[in-house]
Amino acid sequence: MEVTTTQYKRCDLVKVKGRVDSFTAPKLAEALLALTKEGRYNIALSIGEVEYVSSAGLRVMIDVQKTCKHMGRGEVVLVAVPKRIYDTLELAGFVPLFKFYDDETKAVGSF
């Protein structure tokens, strides 16, 4: 799994590529928590090139969303979500917890 972060004025774009499973989820958590520790709570998480997300990956996404939304500081939006991952989020009941965008430009512009 590869994680790249691009910092913008009003948010951060985090691109994830590969599989997010129990082995790689801690690396994603580390990258996202590093942003929140810096006080950056607006995050666009681009997962268009993610092949698979396990329950550990879902837990990371929910945890960082809770951290960002705490006391209205910000939020995590999901970008370019593949259908099979959207279906997983829907099955887990997580769809209402996120905003979804088709492309990175719209997601970054939403902040």
In a domain, 31, yes or no: yes
**Number of domains observed in the structure of the chain:** 1
How many C-alpha atoms does 74 have within 13 Å on its Cβ side? 19
In a domain, 82, yes or no: yes
pTM greater than the 0.85 cutoff: yes
**CA distance readout (Å), 24 to 37, 39, 70:** 20, 24, 25
CATH code, 26: 3.30.750.24
In a domain, 36, yes or no: yes
Q: What is the pLDDT, as a whole number, of residue 72?
A: 85
Positions of the chain with pLDDT under 50: none
In a domain, 25, yes or no: yes
Range of the domain at 99: 2-106
In a domain, 54, yes or no: yes
Q: What is the pLDDT, as a whole number, of residue 106?
A: 95
**Dihedrals φ, ψ of 93, to 5°?**
80, 20
In a domain, 111, yes or no: no
In a domain, 33, yes or no: yes
Residue type, 108: V
How many C-alpha atoms does 34 have within 13 Å on its Cβ side? 13
Q: What is the pLDDT, as a whole number, of residue 71?
A: 81
Closest listed residue to residue 59, CA positions, set 16, 18, 94: 94
Q: What is the pLDDT, as a whole number, of residue 94?
A: 95
In a domain, 32, yes or no: yes
